[in-house]
Amino acid sequence: MIMDVMEIQEIIPHRYPFLLLDRVTDIVPNETLVGFKNVTIGDNIFQGHFPGHPIYPGVMILEGMAQAGGILAFKSMDMTKEEAANKVVYFMSIDKAKFRSPVTPGDRLEYKITVIKQKGAIWVLKGEAFVDDKLVSEAELKAMIVDK
């Protein structure tokens, strides 16, 4: 299943400049999601991080993982669009976060999200971020889907 940015916006509430996922290229419900974000010098974050030495912030990489994880959780649950519109994903914890290489303008961040476990509305996910098949960041994310 491929999802473009318009379909992504039907599932999660994030919008520019905080929508950090451009496309989903593969989803296996209850198992995995693969998606990406194109990092460009036009991203507002580079005005301050860091002038003359642009580095994409690690917290933004983690947020991109979280958004991808939210899409995986929503697509794994048997909900109509109307039901999903009345729900939101709250992240409860981010553990074991590691940043292995800097991400810079021109990079394409590929997110790979894997379900570790799921019980009711609670999801535990492994998030990995790659640039050119090189692992640049990883974390374990815990989230809950709740009513708005």
Tokens (6 digits) for 75: 């697509």
The rounded distance, in Å, linking the Cα atoms of 137 and 122 is 23
- Closest C-alpha to 21, from 90, 69, 77, 75: 69
The rounded distance, in Å, linking the Cα atoms of 72 and 129 is 15
* Whether residue 14 lies in the annotated active site: no
Residue pair 129/135 in contact by the 8 Å Cβ criterion? yes
Please identify which of the residues 14, 49, 87, 142 carries the catalytic annotation: 49
Task: Give 11's DSSP letter.
Answer: H
The set of catalytic residues is: 49
